[in-house]
Amino acid sequence: MTDSTALPAELAAQIRAAVAETTRTAPSSEVAPSGGEEDGARKPLQRAAGHLSPNVPAAAPLSRFKRIAVRLLRFLWRDQASFNALALESMEYLLAGLTSQRRSVEQFRAELAGFERDQASRRSAVEEMKRTVEIWARRFTIQDGRLSALESQTDGAAGSPAIVPSAAPPASIPPAVYSLFEERFRGRPDEISEKQKVYLPLFENLNGPLLDVGCGRGEFLRLLAERGVKGSGIESNPIAAAEVRRSGIEVEEGDALALLAQRPPGELGAVVALQVVEHWAPETIFRFLREALRVLAPGGLLLLETINTDSLSAWKAFYLDPSHVRPVPPDALRFLAEAVGFGQARIEWHAPLDADDRLQERTDNDVKLNRLLFGPQDYALIAYRPSGD
């Protein structure tokens, strides 16, 4: 009797030893779950680990006899249990490798983001340096113009008595001096271009070339050229005109009304004058509007921009420029345009002040004061030559 009971016990002990030898602990304690695909794979593995060998719950019917039967018959699935254990361990190592690779990729992405931020900062610094160099290059050009003008005044004067300056004031501010004034107070060309982009949709389908009267340094003409709009300029300042020519844009140098009068009727699709009319007397503005109507083709566009006289804060900019003649109220400019024959005339407001420079609008009176004191700094008159002309 003793031998018959010892044999099953010895066989069960051998089976347990064989299974324990082939079943190794997975490295899950060394690898923290990282989420994502790893967690999706680890959970099924954890469930599979519970089925390496049959397990009889204590509360199951006849559980004692079933557990004895499992121990006695374990040799039937010993090889399969060993294979399952090794397969689960291999999967755990694969998941550990995947987690390590994911961490490496995340670290690489973080380093790449830092590199991209550093590159963006360097590009910004280079752009700022380029703008600074451009500003100084223009200023050197202006100084060269002033020196050339001075040399032309003193040519042939060697050995002659010193020139006594006239007591009479000059007819106008020298072009080089006004160019320096614009460099200091009007802003960089890129800043001016950014403000002028608001007008670009008006010029998508012109029925003729565009003429920019008083084109200055050519910021708007360069914007249009980048979009394939054919245009040229008129500029009275020789230094500014030379800068426009260096951009490869056609520009005529001289008096705007005289050059406009030489144009044949109906040849232009648009006439533009940005920050120009405040430099003219009312009768000059009226003559300009008549000439602009004449040279425009039917349906042609007129765009005029000037300082908003309805905003008191804008008057500082008006009186800052010594070449300004008089402010032009929007209602007066629209009336003059309609008087010479333009139609569909409207006013648009531009260049609003930042919120920090305006009153906080808590009441209706705050709104009225903002409109009166801190309204948009510029306005634009947009009008068309009637198509029936």
- pLDDT of 62 reads 66
Confidence of residue 378 (pLDDT cuts 50, 70, 90): very high
Kindly state the average pLDDT of the residues 308-330: 86
Helix (H, G, I), strand (E, B) or coil at 381: strand
Which of the residue ranges 11-20, 42-51, 135-144, 241-250 has the most confident prediction, judged by mean pLDDT?
A: 241-250
Instruction: Tell me if 320 is assigned to some domain.
Output: yes
Does residue 330 share a domain with residue 251?
yes
Residue 79 lies in a domain: yes
pLDDT in tens, 15-48: 556 555 544 444 444 444 455 556 666 666 666 6
pLDDT at 134: 64
Which one, of 325, 351, 327, lies nearest residue 186 by Cα? 351
- Does residue 202 carry a pLDDT above 80? yes
Nearest to 251, CA basis, from 211, 195, 200: 211
297 and 372 part of one domain: yes
Are 221 and 227 in contact by the 8 Å Cβ rule? The answer is no
Tell whether 34 is covered by a domain: yes
Evaluate if residue 331 carries a pLDDT over 90.
yes
Band of residue 212 on the pLDDT scale cut at 50, 70, 90? very high
Tokens of 65: 């006899």
Beta-carbon contacts of residue 181 (< 8 Å; ≥ 6 apart): 173, 321, 322
Query: For the whole model, what pTM was predicted?
Result: 0.57
- Region 126-144: what's the mean pLDDT? 62
- Find the mean pLDDT for residues 121-146: 64
Please tell me whether residues 231 and 343 are part of one structural domain: yes
Q: Which residues touch 335 (CB under 8 Å, ≥6 apart)?
A: none
Residue 4: its pLDDT value, please?
Answer: 52
Tokens coding 107: 């670290």
Res 283: pLDDT:
95
Total domains present in the chain: 2
Say what the pLDDT of residue 126 is. Answer: 74
Higher-pLDDT residue of 32 and 326 is 326
Residue range(s) defining the domain that contains residue 301: 175-384
Higher pLDDT among residues 254 and 374, named by residue: 254
Residues 202 and 105 placed together within one structural domain of the fold: no
φ and ψ at 268, to 5 degrees?
-110, 150
Average pLDDT estimate for 185-197: 83
CA distance 212 to 372: 31
In this predicted structure, which of 107-111, 137-141, 367-371 has the lowest mean pLDDT? 137-141
Confidence of residue 215 (pLDDT cuts 50, 70, 90): very high
Which of 92, 118, 144 marks a domain boundary? 118
Q: Are 92 and 26 in contact (CB under 8 A)?
A: yes
Q: Is residue 308 classed exposed, middle or buried when 0-12, 13-18 and 19+ CB atoms within 10 A define those classes?
A: buried
- State the pLDDT at residue 163: 33
Say if 169 falls within a structural domain.
no
Residue 140 lies in a domain: no
On whether both 41 and 111 belong to a single domain, the answer is yes
Residues 53 and 201 in one domain: no
Residues 102 and 208 in one domain: no
Report whether pLDDT(295) > 90: yes
**Same-domain pairing of 360 and 280:** yes
Average pLDDT over residues 118-132: 75
Q: In this model, does residue 12 exceed pLDDT 60?
A: no
pLDDT at 293: 97
Please report, rounded to a whole number, the percentage of residues in the chain having pLDDT higher than 90: 34
Determine, yes or no, domain membership for 104: yes
- Give the strand pairing for 296-307 and 378-384: antiparallel
Q: What is the pLDDT of residue 82?
A: 60
Residue 326 has pLDDT above 60, yes or no: yes
Q: For 84-88, 218-222, 350-354, which range has the lowest pLDDT when averaged over its residues?
A: 84-88
Among 74, 102, 118, the domain boundary falls at 118
